[in-house]
Every structure is written in structure tokens, then in C-alpha cells.
Structure 1
């Protein structure tokens, strides 16, 4: 991984399709099926991770990826399908291969979520071998 500086900021946007709303999160669950078509918390969390991965991408060496290891966020407002959401992520800590990010996500009207996310840089090949070995037990 190339050197990272605390304070790095990155902005990432996404247009929320109907397929990223609550009824699509677990289609086999009747609980989700009866909910309104708004950006699902589970998908918002993934979007926030994606924003951090996008911020880190230019700093990764060949064969490196990042994995999320902690996320603590709020989901403060509903966003209907068809609206754009934007996450602003700020690097607040670097400790070796560990990075910590502050995140604020907004839709076209208001803040929809905020919090903290931790990611680790991994060697993709080594990680994949460990996961494969675990699956063979």
C-alpha cells in the first residue's frame, strides 16, 4: 500500500435504483416485502463501504484489496428510489494496514446517515486461500 495521509477526503455518488430498496434486501422475507421502497439500510452500509474502497483504490499495490472489519453508522432519513446519494468519506486514522474513515451520506435533500468505518488492506491471494481452506472443513 502506498502512503496514506490522515485527512484524505473522497466523494462518491450513486443513483438509487428500485432494486436497492427495502423489499429487495431479502426477497424471501415477508417482513421486508411489506416495507416501503426506500434505500435499505443494508444497501446504504454497502454504499458507504464502496465509497471507502473507491477512496483507497489508488493507494493499493498489485494484488491488494481491502476488507471491512467494523462499521458503526446511523440511518437518519429515508431516500426514495430514483434519488442520488452522495457519501463523503474522510480518513481519520492509519495504523499499518488498518484505516478508519468518518462517513457522511446525503441524498438530494438531507443527511441520510453518518458514522465510522474500518478497513484492512489484505493480500488477495493469501486471503482467498484461507477462505477456501475454511470452506473445506
Structure 2
């Protein structure tokens, strides 16, 4: 088992994303209104969680997002910058749960929880290779 003893509640990370045309709901297929897309909110939240774990994972290990429970509560138009924050809520073995939120500088636009699992990168990549090889 990898040493995850440095991971603890309270650690925090952030990620920022400019709302561009490519990140609008109308472009990513998640709606018909030209506002920051919910899938992009999820991407920002996951990036914040990855940033939080940066430097705390043992060499040869990565984190994988496995669960999200997020509300997207306020629209953000093009030109704004969305900043997501992920704060470790709990550590249970390889499972890390985060409290997450995002703001556009005016409003809190989303919040919820996110869970990631720590994996051995080589072992995980071997599983992907085996699955790819078995494709019909």
C-alpha cells in the first residue's frame, strides 16, 4: 500500500478557467444558452482536486475521479473567469473526498462533493492495455 499519510482534511487546491466560446453550453452540447457549460464546471472542479493533491501523492501514483455530486446554480457569461476550489473533507485509505465550490467573481456558481481514488499508475495502465487488447 502506498504511503498516503501526508493527505489530510483541510488541504486545498484551485483551478481557474476563462469562459470562452469553446466552453459554452452551446458548444459542448449541454444546452442551448450561451453560458458556461456544466461539463466545464466539472472539469474545473476536477482540476482543483488534482491541484490539491499535487505534491502529496507517492511517485508512480495518480488520482482518478470516481464520483461527483455538484449543483450548478448560477449562469456565467463569456469573458468571466471561473475559479474552482477543492478542499479535502476526508481521507479513507485510497479514497479522498473533497468539498468543492466555484465562483465567477460575482456569484458562487456551483458546489458539492467530489471523490477521487489513488491508484498505482503502472497497474492501472496495464489494466487499460489489457482491456484495449480484448476489444472485439
Q: Same fold (TM over 0.5)?
A: yes
Select the residue among 107, 111, 116 that pairs with 2:113. 116
Q: Which moved more, 1:36-45 or 1:7-16?
A: 7-16
Q: Aligned residue for 1:95?
A: 92
Alpha-carbon deviations, 1:30-73, whole Å to 9, x = none? Answer: x84xx122111111111101100011011012221110011000
**Aligned-pair CA distance for 1:2:** 5.2
Q: Tell me how far apart the structure 1 counterparts of residues 20 and 122 of structure 2 sit (CA, whole Å).
A: 33
Q: Aligned residue for 1:86?
A: 83
**Aligned-pair CA distance for 1:93:** 0.5
Q: Aligned residue for 2:16?
A: 13
Q: Tell me how far apart the structure 2 counterparts of residues 16 and 122 of structure 1 sit (CA, whole Å).
A: 32
- Contact preservation (8 Å) 2:61, 2:120: yes
- Contact preservation (8 Å) 1:2, 1:61: no
Count of aligned positions: 131
Q: Which moved more, 1:120-129 or 1:4-13?
A: 4-13
Deviating 4+ runs (over 4 angstroms): none
**Aligned-pair CA distance for 1:91:** 0.6
Q: Aligned residue for 1:59?
A: 56
Q: Tell me how far apart the structure 1 counterparts of residues 90 and 9 of structure 2 sit (CA, whole Å).
A: 6
Q: Tell me how far apart the structure 2 counterparts of residues 2 and 84 of structure 1 sit (CA, whole Å).
A: 34
Structure 2 residue 136 is matched with structure 1 residue 133:
no
Gaps of 5+ in 1: none
